Amino acid sequence: GENVEQHPSTLSVQEGDSAVIKCTYSDSASNYFPWYKQELGKRPQLIIDIRSNVGEKKDQRIAVTLNKTAKHFSLHITETQPEDSAVYFCAANSDSNYQLIWGAGTKLIIKP
Amino acid sequence: KAGVTQTPRYLIKTRGQQVTLSCSPISGHRSVSWYQQTPGQGLQFLFEYFSETQRNKGNFPGRFSGRQFSNSRSEMNVSTLELGDSALYLCASSPKNPTDTQYFGPGTRLTVL
């Protein structure tokens, strides 16, 4: 079955710098790749997603890239701010699998 | 539209008891997924329901069960509670398809003493 690996497990960056989180997946049929942000004590919230017919998607300071050949996708956050501190989860799914497959999460720490 | 709601928000039980958690999806959403999240852990998939049918189930013991009603509201039940069942239980709703965006509820924090 599908497996999603996420790295790093913890990422500490200086405020204003960029952060990159990477995920790899195993099922070539996967065609939907969302990223969720979970702040302490809160519910996970979708921040951006990408589908297999595009290679990159941007939303202000956040971007996601997808490399279907290598089976990996990445989250890029530029000009990081204190409110970016959270746990970020990647996930993958296909049209035939009634279950999002989740990465283990990355704790992003923004140092002032 | 109102978001996903879960009740109760907090629950304290003792070992051996059973518990029922409820999830009301966003209006029009027919798929509900349930997850268990323990401190420092990721999201462990429990099961997914669509139109009152369980379409997929995770690797949890049979003590964990669920159901969905005709109005798409869903419940999950845990019988014979164990200390290790203490966790945040999240439900997420989506319109229909596996690749539709999932929207999470605030979760139910279950503590087993």
- A–B CB contacts, 8 A cutoff, strictly below: 54
The predicted-structure confidence for A55-96, as pLDDT tens digits, reads as follows: 999 999 999 999 999 999 999 999 999 999 999 999 999 888
Interface test with A, best of B34, B50, B59, B99 (most A CBs within 10 A): B99
The β-bridge relationship of strands A32-38 and B103-104 is: unpaired
The predicted-structure confidence for A6-56, as pLDDT tens digits, reads as follows: 999 999 999 999 999 999 999 999 999 999 999 999 999 999 999 988 899
* Residue of chain A minimizing CA distance to B45: A99
- Nearest chain A CA: its distance from B47 CA (Å): 8
* Residue of chain A minimizing CA distance to B6: A43
The predicted-structure confidence for B27-67, as pLDDT tens digits, reads as follows: 999 999 999 999 877 899 999 999 999 999 999 999 999 99
Residue B34 and residue B58: Cα distance in Å, rounded?
10
- Token readout for B86 is 């203490």
- Nearest chain B CA: its distance from A14 CA (Å): 23
- Nearest chain A CA: its distance from B48 CA (Å): 7
Number of helices followed by number of strands (H, E) in chain B: 0, 11
Q: What is the pLDDT of residue B57?
A: 94
Are A31 and B106 within 8 A, CB to CB?
A: no
Q: What is the pLDDT of residue A1?
A: 77
- Give me the residue from A32, A44, A95 closest to B104, CB to CB: A44
B5 and A43 in contact (C-beta within 8 Å)? no
State CA A42 to chain mean position distance: 18
Q: What is the pLDDT of residue B40?
A: 73
